[in-house]
Structure 1
Amino acid sequence: MSFNVLMYILIIPAFILTIWAQFRVKGTYNKWREVQVNSGITGYQAARHMLDTHGLHDVQIISVPGMLSDHYNPINRTVALSEDVYYGNSISSVSVACHEIGHAIQHKEAYPMLSLRHRIFPVVNFASGVAPFLILGGFLFSATGLIGVGILFFAVTVLFQLITLPVEFNASNRARDIMVSEGYVTNEEERGVGKVLNAAALTYVAAALVSLLELIRLIGIFNSRD
């Protein structure tokens, strides 16, 4: 069996996993959005309380449109919560909101992997945009050096995705511990919290796996041409 055939055999299931992970996170979110937390707290209230108890009074929380459009912006120190998460008092809403606050706490404490991700982001933003064109141009014009540079740039984006994994898992672990200790959710409700956060984390794992396998395939092709 040739190297390329083997890599396609590995990449195709990984790509299917990525699609399945996207469906799973939406399905899990929708399931637990129907279950209200016993505390009755909303995503916004949980997020605000979590920020304030960690001395992050200057971090703002805003409501944004879209489903699962939640994110933390380290530049302007703003937590953006989708409307369903912002106003909702379900296990899904509170879980997602607290996960994003986990990133804000990471930022305050200079969590090493988050700091590294922030430092390399400008490079990644540039590399992800030019890598496909360099690789394609290298193949079209039989320019091995151009392919090599493109692969190097693509490797930077893969590194970024790999660094993202511990950042996301750490934010989720922080959120789960605080949600229980502060009484946002009960010990029984923590199971639902885990389902929501684990489903979201799976999307990052699947995307990183696909990119890593593609990088290995490109390196294999580059070595064979060289």
Structure 2
Amino acid sequence: MKRLKGRVAVVTGASRGIGRAIALRLAAEGALVAVHYGTRNDAAEETVAAIHASGGQAFTVGAEFESLDGVERFLQGLDKELNRRTGMNQFDILVNNAGIGTSPSFEATSEDEFDLLFAINVKAPFFIVQKSLERIRDGGRIVNISSGVTRIAYPHIMAYNLTKGAINTFTLHLAQLLGPRGITVNSVMPGIVDTDINASWLHTPEGRKYAADMSALGRIGEPSDIADIVAFAVSPDSRWITGQMIDATGGSHL
């Protein structure tokens, strides 16, 4: 049985990596998926093509999130596409996945780099939700993709870590705010995952051993590992879980 049949899901940053895996998984569960991308339209179209090839439904919406103008363009594009397909602009599931995946060292981070990280990783999801309160149906699901760095110290990417701490705080308070509407809000916190962002160092014998040794399960995380957790968090089965930070690191640094 497809648990998300008849639901509409919006996944930001879904053209590749973890976001792409989430989009594929939710579509496989029956959801109509809005595949957001920043600059990689080609990759987003590949994600949609893969969903269609598997019998699912999806479409792309492009916008960069460096400013509120980008958030507005995203929502306008989303409204247009949803109205064309469903006759309304409402949706059931929002996965805030788009983000910058790393940062310079604490000593080297500039103000512009700091501001860009917070604009994309924190400001954008904050205002996407704020401006979508009438778009998200009662009983819906919001999942914010955070990181294991909120419980494991990695001071060499300090500015990035701060953004994920902010996302966890956002999750907690948003869950309380939206609870009366039956909307659950949770964070999923991946550890090291085998994506193209990590490929430069992870695809070496030393890198693979380093990453695998961190996990109690003795292997590197895959995008599908995270997508399966998100699929649970947006399903009817998760109805009694909200305001939680779900560790998805494979037991790293226990």
Question: Does TM-score exceed 0.5, indicating one fold?
Answer: no
TM-score of the superposition, structure 1-length normalised? Answer: 0.28
Q: Say which one has the larger Rg.
A: 1
Higher helix share: 1
**Per residue, is there more strand in 1 or in 2?**
2
